[in-house]
Amino acid sequence: MSKRVRPGYYRQDVNKTSWEVPERYRELRQVGTGAYGTVCSAVDSRTGTKVAIKKLYRPFQSELFAKRAYRELRLLKHMKHENVIGLFDVFTADLSLDRFHDFYLVMPFMGTDLGKLMKLQRLSEEKIQYLVYQMLKGLKYIHSAGIIHRVSSLLYFHHVCVSSQLVFSHGNLQDLKPGNLAINQDCELKILDFGLARQADIEMTGYVVTRWYRAPEVILSWMHYTQTVDIWSVGCIMAEMLQAKPIFKGSDHLNQLTEIMKLTGTPTQEFASKLESDDAKGYVKSLQKVEKKDLQTVFPTTNPQAVSVLERMLLLDPESRVTAAEALAMPYFSEFREPEEETAAQPYDHSSDNADQPLDLWKRHTFTEILTFKPVVPDSKETAL
């Protein structure tokens, strides 16, 4: 006998999975799937707006999954900025903690992402300015909460590249890349997915796309990450929008670093001395010296103000890179700039996310977060149909 549906809810099969959702959410259509969940578009019959609903795949199958699910929920609840994905609603059809197995996250529906948009069209200078301005506004907000988009996943895996005895970062890390930047038809952008690591997206060429946007210090695990790892990614994405092709298209980790250093030059002695790993220091010393390129020669037809933004972002030394807040004040963005919208976040409390707790406790915390959530009424600007 099948389980009864909670009053006010209905059941629908989506891609061989049973979804139980409140009756207000209609016209469920699968729009995406990953290793950790499925996303459907739906229409909220109360407001007439289109929303995205995400169902996590077996969120309580292990402590790691439960911790990740709890963390994504808390991060989404915390985010209240027009350029960062936030939460309209969260619900479960399970009526009590002992029956609690699944929950669903309701977010703005955006329509497409920057990766898809760049494949469809060559972006105008004005669009590039506006999109990068929004990325930086979103990052300023995320960074002010004490969150790094890049290293927000819970676990890091490393494998040793035997040929050079260097440790490369690998595995469940979430990157800022074109596919993580959602865009609607008004060219409004939201940063997505800093809670869930997903499988690395592999191009038909077999290349791991995420690597192309990854800061050199992350590829080499050669020092503590700072928030400027995300700035490097923005620089890579901006360069790709300007020249309609990825700027550093490495076929593997070492090739990626080689491609980067063709542009940035090899590390200076001063920078090499900051490296924490002896292996990394040895590797840097073994490199044939390459001079830094003048970016204006790499982008000869590009607006010099855009090139000066790239010059400040694509620097090998993370401490020398511009911050999101500093970049927003650069002349390239003056046309769109509204400083009062460049808001900061309330600090995000990481302590409970990083605790080691049994599965039942993660489940209880998540259930409590769902029960205490106050749904947001989306305004017309918040959605894209």
Tens of pLDDT, residue by residue over 211-262, are 899 998 888 776 677 888 999 999 999 999 999 999 999 988 889 999 999 9
What is the longest distance spanned by two Cα atoms in the chain? 71
**Residue 385 binned pLDDT confidence (cut-offs 50, 70, 90):** very low
pLDDT at residue 168, as a whole number: 35
pLDDT at residue 22, as a whole number: 97
User: What average pLDDT does the structure give for the chain?
Assistant: 84
Which residue would you say has higher pLDDT here, 381 or 343? 343
Nearest to 193 by CA among 114, 102, 92, 131: 114
pLDDT at 284 over 50: yes
Query: Domain extents for the chain?
Result: 14-109+351-372, 112-341
Give the domain 112-341 fold: Transferase(Phosphotransferase); domain 1 (1.10.510)
What element of type H or E holds 340?
none
pLDDT at residue 158, as a whole number: 27
Q: List residues with catalytic annotation.
A: 175
CB contact at 8 A, 235 and 177: no
The C-alpha atoms of residue 174 and residue 153 are separated, in whole angstroms, by 6
Tens of pLDDT, residue by residue over 62-116, are 999 999 899 989 989 999 999 999 999 999 999 899 999 999 999 999 989 999 9
**Residue 190 binned pLDDT confidence (cut-offs 50, 70, 90):** very high
Question: Which range (19-23, 88-92, 273-277) has the least confidence?
Answer: 273-277
- In percent, the amount of the chain with pLDDT more than 90 equals 59
**Residue 379 binned pLDDT confidence (cut-offs 50, 70, 90):** low
Question: According to the per-residue pLDDT averaged within each range, which of 138-152, 188-202, 265-279 is highest?
Answer: 265-279
Residue whose tokens read 């985010």 = 79
pLDDT at residue 194, as a whole number: 56
pLDDT at residue 2, as a whole number: 55
CB contact at 8 A, 219 and 257: yes
What element of type H or E holds 12?
strand 9-14
Tens of pLDDT, residue by residue over 144-171, are 988 865 543 322 222 222 233 333 333 3
* Pair of tokens at residue 45: 């019959």
pLDDT at residue 195, as a whole number: 46
Tens of pLDDT, residue by residue over 325-375, are 999 999 999 999 999 989 999 888 877 777 889 999 999 999 999 999 988
CB contact at 8 A, 38 and 55: yes
pLDDT at residue 24, as a whole number: 96
The C-alpha atoms of residue 184 and residue 190 are separated, in whole angstroms, by 9
pLDDT at residue 149, as a whole number: 59
Kindly list the distances between the CA atom of residue 275 and the CA atoms of 106, 267, 279, in Å, as whole numbers in the listed order. Answer: 43, 10, 9
Residue 363 marked in a binding site: no
pLDDT at 270 over 80: yes
CB contact at 8 A, 75 and 348: yes
Give the domain 14-109+351-372 fold: Phosphorylase Kinase; domain 1 (3.30.200)
What's the rounded mean pLDDT across residues 54-68? 92
The C-alpha atoms of residue 239 and residue 228 are separated, in whole angstroms, by 17
Nearest to 81 by CA among 173, 153, 144, 127: 144
pLDDT at 173 over 80: no
381: number of Cβ within 10 Å:
11
pLDDT at 197 over 90: no
Per DSSP, helices labelled H in the chain are: 63-78, 114-120, 125-144, 216-219, 228-243, 253-264, 269-272, 278-286, 295-298, 304-313, 324-328, 359-371
